[in-house]
């Protein structure tokens, strides 16, 4: 049973650590590169990009190309991720893969946020939960608690080892210690 508890504790510690590192990486990524991480909240790009997916958008790629999936500012919906279906000089037309017709609004390069480079299905749900301050705080406390418990366990093991060595040594008067009953 101890082995199972020890194994579960190790798995939980690694899981919490991986979650924290991933969250920190996703928070730092937009600040140190031209990539941005966004959560898809609508189903207009189904089945290519599912609701709850995370899309990694390259803000450095601002040239609309037919067939490319782009993220852009939309006056009605804030931010939209759709596919470019036509480019006409300085403007272009988009359409969500699940939509029956093209978007009514013609887009310009100034609307473009970037081109989607990667989509990870359903990761957005986890990121949304992790972005909640209470959840992030609880994960931080859990990671800190796991580190402290691990150190306490190691210290207890060292104390036992030292105690066992000192109990096995003969006393200064030359007599053997009495065995524990």
Confidence of residue 180 (pLDDT cuts 50, 70, 90): low
Kindly list the distances between the CA atom of residue 139 and the CA atoms of 6, 25, 39, 149, 157, in Å, as whole numbers in the listed order.
19, 15, 21, 15, 27
Do 38 and 28 fall within a single domain? Answer: no
Do 50 and 71 fall within a single domain? Answer: yes
What six digits make up the tokens of 7?
């194994």
Confidence of residue 1 (pLDDT cuts 50, 70, 90): confident
pLDDT value at residue 47: 92
What six digits make up the tokens of 46?
């189904």
64 belongs to a structural domain? yes
Do 55 and 71 fall within a single domain? Answer: yes
Kindly list the distances between the CA atom of residue 155 and the CA atoms of 10, 126, 141, 171, in Å, as whole numbers in the listed order.
17, 35, 21, 25
178 belongs to a structural domain? no
Do 57 and 110 fall within a single domain? Answer: yes
Do 77 and 142 fall within a single domain? Answer: no
**Of 79, 98, 120, which residue is a domain's last?**
120
**Residue 62: which residues within 8 A CB-CB, separation 6 or more?**
109, 112, 114, 115
Do 25 and 46 fall within a single domain? Answer: no
- Containing domain of residue 131, as a range? 1-33+125-151
pLDDT tens digits, 104-125: 888 998 999 999 999 989 888 8
Do 143 and 107 fall within a single domain? Answer: no
Do 138 and 88 fall within a single domain? Answer: no
For the chain, the domain total comes to 2
pLDDT value at residue 75: 81
Give the other-Cβ count within 10 Å of 64's Cβ: 22
pLDDT tens digits, 73-83: 988 778 999 99
Q: Is the pTM of this model over 0.75?
A: no
What six digits make up the tokens of 56?
């990694």
What six digits make up the tokens of 123?
């990761």
Confidence of residue 70 (pLDDT cuts 50, 70, 90): very high
161 belongs to a structural domain? no
Supply the CATH number for residue 71's domain. 2.10.109.10
Do 9 and 67 fall within a single domain? Answer: no
Confidence of residue 172 (pLDDT cuts 50, 70, 90): low
173 belongs to a structural domain? no
pLDDT value at residue 178: 60
Bridge partners of 86, per DSSP, are 93
């Amino acid at each position: 049973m101890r082995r199972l508890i020890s194994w579960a504790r190790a798995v939980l510690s690694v899981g919490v650590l991986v979650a924290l590192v991933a969250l920190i990486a996703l928070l730092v990524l937009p600040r140190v590169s031209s990539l941005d991480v966004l959560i898809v909240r609508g189903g207009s790009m189904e089945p290519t990009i599912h609701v709850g997916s995370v899309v990694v958008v390259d803000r450095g790629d601002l040239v609309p190309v037919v067939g490319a999936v782009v993220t852009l500012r939309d006056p009605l919906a804030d931010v939209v991720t759709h596919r470019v279906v036509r480019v006409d000089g300085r403007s272009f037309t988009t359409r969500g893969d699940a939509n029956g017709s093209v978007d009514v609004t013609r887009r310009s390069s100034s609307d473009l946020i970037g081109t989607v480079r990667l989509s990870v299905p359903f990761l957005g749900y986890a990121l949304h939960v992790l972005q909640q301050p209470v959840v992030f705080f609880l994960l931080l406390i859990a990671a800190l608690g796991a580190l402290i418990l691990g150190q306490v366990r190691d210290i207890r093991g060292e104390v036992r080892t030292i105690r066992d060595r000192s109990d096995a040594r003969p006393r200064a008067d030359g007599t053997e210690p009495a065995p524990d009953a």
